[in-house]
Chains A and B, each alone.
Chain A
Amino acid sequence: MLGLGADLLWADMNRLLAFLFHQGVLDEQFLQLQQLQDETSPNFVSEVVNIYFHESEKLLRNLRALLMEKEFSDYKKMGIHLNQFMGSSSSIGAKRVRNVCVAFRAATEQNNRAGCLRALEMLEHEYCYLKNKLHELFQIEQQRALAAGVRYPVQN
């Protein structure tokens, strides 16, 4: 019974992953991360992704703070934050977040404040969607690990 539970969870996990790939939210770099996970670092993917979450939220706060400044002018600084965000997003395979960063950086290069505001809102939305889906994925992974580990004692 619980063996079936682990199998069903595995199917759920793969269905969610396939969905995220199909939507273009994730790309093959995320698969590279999964392939690096092994017995010596069984939580490698979630460790890397949690660092990504921490750094991304700092960058988003910085970007929003810069845009909200009364005498806003630091497009160059925004560009620096966006380059970091792009680099990190590429590294974990967060393709759609990275694409929004590219559009945002184009707006900074054009000194287009209204465009930057729209891009920031889109980036925050895209990032939140990614975060929710990855949390969902990791939860299924944890449930599956628990289900696979449970054994009923043999009864005569």
Chain B
Amino acid sequence: MAHQNLGTKLTALVVDDNKINRKIHQKLLESVGMKNQGVENGQEAVDIHCHGQRFDLILMDMDMPIMNGIEATKELRSMGIGSMIVGVSSRCTEAEIRKFMEAGLNDYHEKPLNNSKLSSLLDKINPSFTRN
């Protein structure tokens, strides 16, 4: 395993079709020092990984056109992506959350995320997980 550079910034991917949510979540991540990118749907999230990019954290919306969060999460896990994937949605029923978790989420939070929710997520992240 390569020596962990403590100065390396953690990286995140925001997957959300709503421009406002993407902008807010990306700014929130930036404010805690994370490099981040945003994409508009699950298919784009899968594509960016097919091109070889990796992230420490993925914030995954559930309801999106083309490919939703559940399908994208399953696809990423089947590709062997070990990033922390956190589902974020504003209107999930308990059954939907369970289905989303079973797709391979590490955690689930109601939207919109705020600083305290993000802090609890970052506490759980092992930054070298995706770099073995």
- Residues of A bordering B, CB below 8 Å: 29, 32-33, 35-36, 38, 40-41, 44, 47-48, 51-52, 55, 83-84, 86-88, 90-92
Contact = CB atoms under 8 A, between A and B. Distances in A.
A10 B12 CA distance: 36
Nearest to A37: B27
Given A29-B112, A51-B20, A91-B18, A36 B90 contact: no
B63 to A, nearest CB: 7
B87 to A, nearest CB: 14
B126 interface: no
Contact of A87 (B18, B30, B114, B115): B18
Interface string B4-35: 00000000000000111101100110110000
B21 A32 contact: no
A48 B24 contact: yes
B29 to A, nearest CB: 10
Interface of A is mostly: helix
Interface of B is mostly: helix
A83 B96 CA distance: 16
Nearest to B91: A83
B111 interface: yes
A48 B26 CA distance: 12
Contacts of A38: 31
A86 B24 contact: no
A90 B21 CA distance: 10
Interface residues of B, number: 17
Given A48-B24, A55-B19, A83-B91, A90 B63 contact: no
A29 B63 CA distance: 21
Nearest to A88: B20
Contacts of B90: 86-87, 90
B27 A36 contact: yes
21 contacts: A32-B114, A32-B115, A33-B24, A36-B24, A38-B31, A48-B23, A48-B24, A51-B19, A51-B20, A52-B20, A55-B20, A83-B91, A86-B91, A87-B21, A87-B91, A87-B111, A88-B18, A90-B90, A91-B20, A91-B111, A91-B112
